Structure 1
Amino acid sequence: MASQSFDLRLPAAGVASHALACGQPLLVSSGLMSGDFRVEYHGMEVASGNLSGPADVLVFDTLSAATVAVAADDIVNAVLEAILTCNPQLGCVELTLADDSLARRLLSLGVIELRGDRLIGRPETFFQQTKPWLGSIPHAYPEVPILTNGALHPQRPPKPTGRVYKRFIPWLNTQLGFHVADVEADLEHFHRWMNDPRVAAIWEDGSDLAYHRDFIAGRLADPRTLPLIGTFGGIPFGYFELYWAKEDRIGPHYDADGHDRGWHVAIGEDDFRGKAFVSAWLPSLMHYMFLADPRTRRIVGEPIHHHSQQIRNLDRSGFAKIKHIQFPHKKALLVMLLRERFFMDRLLSPDLSGLTDGDGLPVLGSLARDAA
């Protein structure tokens, strides 16, 4: 008996995957029949297949790297990314691959795993891959202890430049990206954001262009911090400042590990506020920090203690409330997200229950969770 086709949901325009790894993205879209998919690169079909039920078996009918720029590994990754991102209710999928050498490569990287004689793709392991979102596989920078202002911590790697992360957001049908702040290219909107009364009330860094030029340059020069600009569909919308916790002001307030990381945020564009947007950038930022260094086990934050909306967002995103801490300038709540919690609870897929698309269907990419 033939397996029933799976009601595979993908955006009508497809999922643009691996924008970093391949330059021109691989486009994963639905085929003619329910459960079918096809993959295109520069308008040329490079793979097709179907996801059939009830066992959720992913079968590649065709799989051909049509150009030297696209490897079969990237095609499989693109299909898994599209399916697991848009259909997070799938706990796993079983893959059928005719190429044994391809299967061995994917197994060695942890993209898939062997369960008996079956090849299985699980979101808990797949979303810990780096190439689909970072565009590369970062190495673990050599760990050499150094002392900064009395704090013993690992020497930090050189700063990246340009785009560092890109991910398709199915419920917004657009790409979210983070790039390292550029003093010239990002100064104008950064200056406007920091002078916005809503942002200035928290950051207290409203000033002139010269001050903000020095601000960005200073963060770029500081080994402890990484200033990022977030974009939706290429449009800048917010500033994100990552820091290594060990040598930061937060480090003395808890038992900080050498690779714990923290972050600050300033959303500068009102058009990109609200649940649908924060549910995109917040887990994606956590995803980037966990992928950038595999030794990062915890991410911390220090929201001001009375910022109830931000604390609710963090609570929904898996952060535990640890304790209140007193800084010279504010009383803050120390919050913490564990790597294990983030990936094992599949927190990259938010609960967007109640949000619907233009056809009145639940939005793509939402993973409903019990209130408890």
Structure 2
Amino acid sequence: MSSPASMSLASLAPGKFVISPDSLDKETQNTGAQSFVLEMDSKSSTGQALGQRHWQLDYERTGDQLTVTRWLGRTNDIRSSYQVLDQLIASLGIEELTLSNEVLSEGAQAIDPRHWQASDKGLTIQRDAFYQIRETFLADALLTITPDIRTEREGVEHPVPVRPQLPEGVLYRRQIPQLNVVFELYHATVEHDGERFHKWQNDPRVAEFWEYPFSREKLDEYLHNCRNDAHSAPLIACFDGVPFGYIETYWGQEDRLGPYYDARPFDHGFHLLVGEPDFLGGGRAEYWLKAVSHFLFLLDPRTDRLVGEPRSDNKNLLKWTEKVGWRKDKEFDFPHKRAALMICDKAHFIKHFE
């Protein structure tokens, strides 16, 4: 069962980019004038075909710096422009991007100058700055930052920030160039996701680590409670619209993890499982773990680190989290398991995000 069309947001630009193979020619892309060519069969939020769109970005490259000298093909909003640039930056592995004055004067793209640094050549942005632009990847309903108002929470030593409830539907969307798939996170519901959540939790492979092989009724109640607790949020992860995994986010300070480390008010973490066996392996884990981490850093810019507490013997998960920028801080004992405290620092993560 795919995610319903009603859960897609038009503002997240439904559709999938296709990159011209010539744009990725390793023999020529590092020197001289080159072209990066994209096309997309775009769709409306209801799945209606809107026709094929094309873009061509001519550029000159010196090492890790790239200057766009011509932009063919119009983008009508900032999100669409930045999604095109995301494909360029990630596919070509550049650290600094400049839009030339000639490109800016033609006005084929929409950008926000506040995100860029002005120079004689045009507007420039660093890679780590680009991947902190929330408007590119998050649903519009998430762009407002909740004021830092603290409140008491039972069982937590210090007051914690008031946590906003997540909206319905797709929350994060990014086409991952390395996999040529669109990754999405949407807010899980009992009505739409209860059956799959029950199936996944009763898979022996999943139950070995989650230990939730419960009835449908009990797991529906679990999902319902998770949705209604501002401390946590249940999400479904999709590749090209097909649900494959469950992500449960939590705020570290008021989580059961909080007493076991020096928790900060905006530490965010998540539990995860891959429910569909067809999506195991294939080099996917590295990229969807990066995407989930990226989502949590964007969700609230005051989050400067992520935390996790997988079982210390879950070697596969530990291997992948360390590969994508997490580090093991220590091991400790929960009442129910020996755990590894995993930490991901924002500055390090964003610098290496691709």
TM-score normalised over the length of structure 1: 0.79
1:225 equivalent to 2:261? Answer: no
CA displacement at 1:286 relative to structure 2:
0.2
- Deviations along 1:337-359, one digit per CA (max 9) or x if unpaired, are 01111112x2x32xxxxxxxxxx
1:317 paired with 2:324, answer yes
Structure 1 residue 325 displacement after superposition: 1.9
The equivalent of 1:355 in structure 2 is: none
Separation of aligned partners in 2, 1:225 and 1:166: 20
**Offset at residue 104 of structure 1 (A):** 10
1:283 aligns with 2:290: yes
Which range moves more in the overlay, 79-88 or 295-304? 79-88
Give the 3 Å change call, closer, same or farther, for CA 326–61 of structure 1 in structure 2: closer
- Whichever residue aligns with residue 129 of structure 1, its letter is I
Deviates more, 1:244-253 or 1:92-101: 92-101
1:138 corresponds to which of 125, 139, 143: 143
Contact (CA 8 Å) 1:19, 1:166: kept in 2 or not? no
Residue by residue over 1:109-157, the C-alpha shift from the partner in whole angstroms, topping out at 9 and shown as x without a partner, is: x2x3235654223221111111221133612201111111232211111
2:242 is aligned to 235
Any conservation in 2 of the 1:264–1:301 contact (CA below 8 Å)? Answer: yes
Cα distance in 2 for residues equivalent to 1:308 and 1:64: 47
- CA drift at 1:259: 0.7
Which residues of structure 2 form unaligned runs of 5+?
1-7, 24-33, 43-49
CA contact (8 A) 1:20 1:133 kept: no
| CA distance in structure 1 between the aligned counterparts of 2:303 and 2:106, rounded to whole angstroms | 31
SS in 2 for 1:35: strand
State whether structure 2 residue 61 is matched by structure 1 residue 53: yes
Q: Which has the higher helix share?
A: 2
CA distance in 2, matches of 1:62, 1:279: 33
Quote the residue 1:92 is aligned against.
96
* CA distance in structure 2 between the aligned counterparts of 1:101 and 1:62, rounded to whole angstroms: 9
Moved more, 35-44 or 308-317: 35-44
1:72-104 superposed Cα distances (whole Å, 9 cap, x missing partner): x3443132111012222x222221144469799
Q: Is the 8 A contact 1:28 1:78 kept in 2?
A: no
The alpha-carbon distance between structure 1 residues 119 and 211, as it changes in their structure 2 partners (threshold 3 A), is same
The amino acid that maps onto 2:118 is: L
Any gaps of 5 or more consecutive residues in structure 1?
A: 1-17, 350-372
5 Å matches for 1:1-372? 21=11, 23-25=13-15, 27=17, 29-30=19-20, 35-37=35-37, 42-43=50-51, 45=53, 47-54=55-62, 56-62=66-72, 64=74, 70-71=76-77, 73-88=78-93, 90-98=94-102, 99=104, 106-108=112-114, 110=115, 112-115=116-119, 117-136=121-140, 138-151=143-156, 152-274=159-281, 276-344=283-351, 346=352, 348-349=353-354
CA-CA distance at 1:171 after TM superposition = 2.8
Contact 1:20 1:134 in 2 (8 A): no
Alignment check: 8 A CA contact 2:12 2:173 kept:
no
- Equivalent residue letter for 1:167: R
The code of the aligned residue for 2:59 comes to: L
Contact 2:16–2:182 (8 Å) recurs in 1 = no
Question: Offset at 1:169?
Answer: 1.8
Which residue of structure 1 lines up, in the alignment, with residue 3 of structure 2? none
Q: CA deviation at 1:46?
A: 6.8
Distance in 2, matches of 1:286 and 1:37, equals 29
Deviations 1:21-68 (A, max 9, x none): 254447464498852425666336575431233463212344545xxx
Query: Alpha-carbon deviation of 1:290?
Result: 0.4
Q: Whole-Å Cα distance in 1 between the matches of residues 240 and 18 of structure 2?
A: 18
Q: In the alignment, which residue of structure 1 is the partner of 2:30?
A: none
Q: Deviations over 1:295-349 (max 9, x none)?
A: 11110010111222211111111112211221110111111001111112x2x32
Aligned-residue sequence identity (percent) comes to 29
**Cα distance in 2 for residues equivalent to 1:303 and 1:74:** 35
Q: 1:75 to 1:61 in 2, by over 3 A?
A: same
State the 1:172 CA deviation: 2.4
In the alignment of these two chains, the number of paired residues is 322
